Amino acid sequence: MMTLASLERIIGPPTVTPVQPDWNTIATEHGIVFPSDYKALTERYTALDIHEFLFIYHPASASGNLLSGRRPQAEDVNSYLERTQKFAGGYDPETATVIPADPTIRVDYTIYPEPGGLLSWGVTVNAQKCLWLTHENPEMWTVVIGDNVWGWWHYQGSMTRFLVDVLGEKFTCPLLDPFPAEWSITDIYECP
């Protein structure tokens, strides 16, 4: 399993001390128990802006707060689902297998808190939605990238592993292409 240390080797150590999320309060007030990799990331880093392209939300940050933005994020994702249900392919990091897009397959995603619903963890400058495909076991949440034209692309691993694989250029997510072309560690901004 990819660790926060793997990601930190790619993006560098934090330069800002984040507000520490109160995971018990979040679980009680919002009904969400997050995966351990996301908890570790947000306990170490604030909301992140990578190469002025990919923004990662934080549950306790003043800017880019995952929890305060849930309703508009869910509305955006729902509008994308209304526009297209195309399956745009995916990637299995365990087997390093690219799963080709298939125009005959339609996704049947719902919005969190529905069981197996989508929950936002980030967004790109091009408005692609970076989401978890939730599961009753948070350690089994995987990544879905949504685009209102090209459809839905599924990474069958954790968010941290997705970031390590994309930023480490193990594969290219076609919906994010050409990211992360020509990015550098100086392109990581922490947003308190």
Span 105-160, pLDDT tens digits = 999 999 999 999 999 999 999 999 999 999 999 999 999 999 999 999 999 999 99
Q: Is there a contact between 88 and 151 (Cβ–Cβ < 8 Å)?
A: yes
Q: Is there a contact between 155 and 101 (Cβ–Cβ < 8 Å)?
A: no
Give counts: helices (H), strands (E), the chain.
5, 10
The tokens for 147 are 């685009």
- Single pTM value for the model: 0.93
32-69: per-residue pLDDT in tens?
A: 999 999 999 999 999 998 888 899 999 998 878 888 88
The tokens for 102 are 């298939």
